[in-house]
Amino acid sequence: MKSYRKKSKYLFSIIAFVYTIGVIAQDVKGTWKGELEVQGMKLEMSFNINEENGKYTSTFDVPLQGVVGFPLEKTSFVDNTLTIESAKLKLKYVGTLEEKNLNGIYSQLGQDYPFNLVKTVKIKPGDLSLPSSKETLEKIAALETETYKYSVEDFFMKPKLSIFRISPDGNYISYRKIDEKGKNNVIVKNLSTGKEAVAIYEKEDLVRTYFWKGNNRLIYLQDKGGDENYHLFGANPDGTNNIELTPFDKTMVQLSNVLKDDPNHMIIQMNKDNKQLFEPYKIDINSGEIKKLFENKDPNTPIAGYTFDNSGVLREYSKLKEGKYIENFYKNLETNEFELRNQTDFETNDGILAFDYTTEYPHDAYLISNLTSDKYEVYTYDLKEKKILKTIFKDDTYAIKNIVISSKRRNFEIDFYSYEGAKETVVPVSALYKKIYKKLHKKFGEKEISVLSYNDEETKFIVHVSSDKLRGIYYLYNLPNDSFEELGNMLPHLNESDMAAMKPISFTSRDGKTIHGYITLPKEALNNQKVPLILNPHGGPFGVRDSWGYVEEVQLFASRGYATLQVNYRGSGGYGKAFQKAGDKQVGRAMIDDLEDGVKYAISQGWIDEDKVAVYGASYGGLATLQSLIKTPEMYICGVDYVGVSNLFSQLENFTGIRKSYIQWYKDRYYDPENPEEHKIMTAVSPALNADKISQPLLVIQGANDPRVKIEQADQIVKNMRDRGIDVPYMVKYNEGHGFGHEENKIELYKTMLGFFAQHLK
């Protein structure tokens, strides 16, 4: 592996970010693909050639490196010979076009390499005839004619400063900062000198997350165009040695254990050897050298999770049985063999939060469990003897969400736990965190306060403060000095007093269940004026919930005079296993009833103009949107379907690769098409199969690379309605997946949506 990494690194230094091909002759426009060979290593690249008014431009793709659509500097063509030069990258390419081949020489740093390409067809996902034109969507956006204090850009611009972290030694802070090109780079700042350096440049693909690993390395994740095949990258704080650590094609990386006490290694999971199975690897964060730690061999009973202790020793794994049961195997430290600890399922289960290092007994651990209760609780547990030792948190109303344990420096004591009811609540336990949170609440009141990062000495803390009206402000809290330094306000141009309050609500469903949710009312409603309503069902649907806090789209809608209703319908998480199980076999049915009951509740409070109700949701929320328009068309005036499921049969077919093991889970929670009665229900609640019943105006939005809900599902809805003569505006972005991540796409999306709502709700 070391030799491969050296070759790969050398190869990439020669070719990555240096290829510019402008293949031009009779018909040179299009995509050209080839392999460049250096020292026995091959790298596939595609070059995309465009021509406009006799001027040629080109971009290139390097799939192995996650590079897509990278713009190139200079392209010219004379006498059937293509010449590409880049002074910045010190390269030159000269190629001759011969029918459907481009044969040439690539030169860099005094080295020449044969580089021949073949013209290919670059196929975009979905039916390319269906998406609406840019002009059509702009006309819809222009229907919002009123002028407001805050623009769409004001709500959806990337924060200039965000995601602050502190290095373990406390000498540096890192954060994301928008540059003049709109890229969200990662900056490292020396707290003593104030000197800053770019550690990670964001290029075509978005940096999804990053964190410190020791004092000398930053780790980050990227996928390709939203396909969710995340790869692991590493960079030094000064930007050097920035390399891809997992350059494996069609492989997804998941984080398992960062191994805080090992500065050079961490544990990840990859489906490298079998796309259906994840296996754990110990990876060197400087070189990318990997070592497989355990084999996951059986696709029929795959291992679905691994638990490592602080030393990187695998102590337990969870195996999926029959697609519906979870078998937990714990390691007997005397025999070094894994033994079955218990069998659970997706709704009644337990899991190791952390090992209890406050005792000498190696089998003590903190477990989160609902095996003996409706809500999740935490207790210390003897894994060897399989018995509860002490209950740490138990409540009949709220399920625990998280527990945080200190480091060895303070003998692994519990610092705090948190739970979520109407709002998230942090309960400090240790003396240190009782002191810290007392200080924080004294300064910031009852806002949501989170400690995100701290140095090893626990003298400096990165604190994030937010609320339903505040996107968030980062502070550096110096404990010895009891001082606060504001690091960055995520959206300083938005005044809290102009934002709308998110109000927790509850109501009784038609079959007697207590349903919780939130209503956000614009100022017009607070002045006793009935306002239009946007029902906004969340995705999931199982185990997910809406939460109190700042939501950009909700504040945008309120600023335009719309109320937003968010309902945690049956099946949602956080309200106990009985409430979640009540959603089984109710997709598109009782789940939709809960939404209707929520709308009726909001209308009954006198807030809402019942003739101006829209429904808009994403993912499962998209299915809920479409099914609502089918089931109760009299209730809604229009709808917006965003990356929404429309065909439950198609969705089941999408359970391939790593999702294949969960087919039975899908059949148990949703419906089993092999059961004749459930097949009928599945057909009835698949909007794409009943789209002839949709008559209200509909806007459809889709990411072309969506791996969860394929673009074909959106195509089915649009095609069905257009075949019936109903105009359906359809926005597709070919660099997005399951939800838009690029700022310019988000802004276009919401401008179009506001124009659509203005047309039908005003």
State the helix-helix crossing angle for 743-761 and 134-141, rounded to 10 degrees: 60
CA distance 758 to 479: 50
Q: Give the list of residues 6+ apart from residue 97 with CB closer than 8 angstroms, or none.
A: 23, 24, 25, 26, 28, 80, 81, 82
Strand partners, 209: 221
CA distance 213 to 451: 18
pTM of the model: 0.79
For the chain, which residues score pLDDT lower than 50? Answer: 1-25, 65-66
Instruction: For residue 422, give both structure tokens.
Output: 């109407």
Tell me the per-residue pLDDT of 332-364, one tens digit each, with 9 for 90 and over.
988 999 999 999 988 888 999 999 999 989 999
Q: What local confidence, expressed as pLDDT, does residue 70 receive?
A: 61
CA distance 239 to 324: 45
Q: Give the list of residues 6+ apart from residue 640 with CB closer than 8 angstroms, or none.
A: 614, 615, 616, 617, 625, 698, 699, 700, 701, 753, 756
Instruction: Single out the residue of 698, 701, 756, 697 nearest to residue 731, CA to CA.
Output: 701
Instruction: Single out the residue of 256, 288, 260, 259 nearest to residue 270, CA to CA.
Output: 256
Strand partners, 702: 732
Other C-beta atoms closer than 10 Å to the C-beta of 190 total: 14
The residue type found at 400 is I
Q: What local confidence, expressed as pLDDT, does residue 69 receive?
A: 58
In the structure, how many helices (H) and strands (E) does the chain have? 14, 44
Q: What local confidence, expressed as pLDDT, does residue 444 receive?
A: 94
CA distance 284 to 286: 6
123 neighbors 40 (Cβ within 8 angstroms)? no
SS3 call for 604: helix
CA geometry: angle 469, 470, 471, nearest 5 deg: 125
Q: What local confidence, expressed as pLDDT, does residue 199 receive?
A: 93
Tell me the per-residue pLDDT of 29-40, one tens digit each, with 9 for 90 and over.
778 888 888 666
**Total residue count of the chain as it appears in this document:** 762
Q: What local confidence, expressed as pLDDT, does residue 662 receive?
A: 84
